[in-house]
Amino acid sequence: MEGIRQVVKILILGSGQVGSMVAQNLAAMPNNDVTIIDIDEAALKNISSQLDVQTIVGNGASPSLMAMAGAGDCDMLLALTKQDETNLVACKIAADLFNIPYRIARVRQMDYLEFKHDGEEGVLDALGITDSISPEQLVTERLAGLLSYTSALQVLRFANDRARMVVLQAHKRGLLVNREIAEINQHLPDGVDCQICAIYRNNRLIVPSAKTVIIDGDEVCFLADSRYVKTIMRELRPFEQPTRRVMIAGGGNIGYRLAKQVENQYDIKIVEMNEKRAEWLAENLDSTLVLLGSASDENLLSHEYIDEIDVFLALTNDDENNIMASLLAKDLGAKRVITIINRSRYVDLLEGNQIDIVVSPHLITIGSILAHIRLGDVVAVHPLRRGNAEAIEVVVHGTPETSALVGRRVSEVKWPHGCHFAALVRGEEVIMGHKEDAVMQDGDHIIFFVSRRRVTRELEKLIQVKVGFFG
C-alpha cells in the first residue's frame, strides 16, 4: 500500500510495546492527531505523560468508543491489540460505520491470513482490512534469511528480493580486512558490485569512504545484488561451511513456520515441551525430527549431539527460557545461537555476548508498520542497531516538474544529513550508491541507510510528489 500523504487523524488500538512505539513515531510527526484506545488504564497514563496523544480507556472494538475517539473523520486505523478478533472486528466497524480509508490490522493466526472462500475472497477482504501485519510471519522470514547466510547478523530484502542488505562482523582472514574499501574491486568478478553503507567500530558509527580501512571486529553493513551476497561476504570473512544442522527450541507458531519453510534445506530437530503440540508438529512436518522435552535440559541436548549443531534457535514465548536454553546450547558446543527476545531491555543486554544474534519481534513488527505510515511511497522500513538506525526503501514517482528526484543525478541531490544513498533498483538492474552519476527515473526503488531517525521527516519531503514542484 502506498504511504499516506496527508494523515491528520490516526486511531491506534492497543498500547503495548508495538502500539506505544508506533504512537511515539506518529506523535513526533507534525500535524498528526493521535488517539490511543486500550483497556489498560495504567499503560495509557504512562503514554500520555510522555507523548502528545489522546487516550481513551476501553475496548477498541466498541463502536461507541470509536465514535468518542472521532473515528468519523479519521484517516487511519491501526488495530494493534494482542487479540486478532478485536483487531478484525474493529477494522470491519471502521470500514462499514465510519468509512476510515486505511485500516491496518495486526493478525497472528494464519487461518485468518490464508483462508480463501471458494478460492477467492479471503477473511481480510471480507472484513474490510486494507493491509495486515503478521508478526510471526515477519519474524519467520527474518530467521530464514539468517539461516541462509552463515555468520550474518542481519539479512534484509529489498525490491522484491532483487537486493539484500547484510550486517556481519569482519574477520581478520577476510580478503578486504586491513585494506581500503577501494581495493574490493581487485577481488570481485566482473559485474559484481556492492555498497558498504556503514561500519560500527566499538559501537561508534563510521560512514565509510573509498579510503576507509576495515579492521578485524568491525560490524559492517553492506548492500548488494541478491545473487552476489555470498561473494561479497567472502571479502569480509573467510569461507565458512554452509548451515546443515539446525535445532529449534519451541514448536509454537514461529518455530513451526520456520521448520515448515526450511525443512527441505536443512536437517532440523525441534524441541517442544507440550506433548499434544509435539504430536501435532510430528503430524504436520515432513522431515523435521520432533523431540518431546525442554531445550534447557542438558541431558537432552547432549544426547542429541548439540555440539554438532550449526545453528540453535530459541523461539519459545518465554524470554527467560530462551536465554537459558541459548546459553546452555552455546556452552555445550552449538556453533551459532539465535534467540527471540521480546523485552527491549533484554535485547540491549544480551546482543553481542554469548548469544550471537538477538531477534526482537517487536522491532521487526514496528518497522513493517512504519512503512505504512511514513509519507511518500515507502515500501519497507527496517530498524537497525536496535532501532537507532534504519534501512528504508522508497519508490520514486513523478516527473522532473513534480518530483525533487526524478530526472536528477544522485550527486545533484542534497540528501539530509545522516541519510546515505545505498542503491537504486530499476527492473533487474541494481545500481550501487557510489555510482553518483546515475539519473533517477519514475518507478525506481531507492534504498537508504539512515543513521539518525530524526532525518526521516526531511527524507519524506524529498520523495513526495508535488504538483508544480518548481513553480
pLDDT of residue 135: 87
Q: Is the fold of 9-133 the same as that of 245-359?
A: yes
387-420 confidence digits (pLDDT tens)? 678 898 988 888 888 888 889 998 888 888 888 8
In the 8-state DSSP scheme, what is residue 66? H
* Residue 446 bridge partners (DSSP): 394, 424
Query: How do the domains of the chain map onto residue ranges?
Result: 9-133, 245-359, 364-463
Helix (H, G, I), strand (E, B) or coil at 177: coil
* Band of residue 5 on the pLDDT scale cut at 50, 70, 90: very low
Residues contacting residue 416 through CB under 8 Å, at least 6 positions apart: 455, 458, 459, 462
CA distance 151 to 364: 20
Does domain 9-133 correspond to CATH entry 3.40.50.720?
A: yes
CA dihedral 227, 229, 232, 233 (to 10 degrees): -150
Q: How many CA atoms lie within 13 A of 211 on its CB side?
A: 0
Question: First CA to last CA across the chain, in angstroms?
Answer: 29
Per-residue pLDDT for 471 more than 80? Answer: no
pLDDT of residue 468: 38
Which H or E element spans position 269? strand 267-272
pLDDT of residue 375: 58
Task: Supply the DSSP string of 308-355, one letter for each residue.
Answer: G-SEEEE-SS-HHHHHHHHHHHHHTT-SEEEEE---HHHHHHHTTSSS
Does domain 245-359 correspond to CATH entry 3.40.50.720?
A: yes
Domain 364-463: give its CATH code: 3.30.70.1450
Could you tell me the CA-to-CA distances from 385 to 155, 356, 394 in Å, in that order? 13, 14, 20
Task: Supply the DSSP string of 9-57, one letter for each residue.
Answer: EEEEE--SHHHHHHHHHHHTSTT-EEEEEES-HHHHHHHHHHSS-EEEE
Which amino acid would we find at residue 8? V
What integer is the mean pLDDT of 418-441? Answer: 90
* Band of residue 467 on the pLDDT scale cut at 50, 70, 90: very low
Which amino acid would we find at residue 201? R
Nearest to 131 by CA among 77, 195, 58, 198: 77
What integer is the mean pLDDT of 8-37? Answer: 84
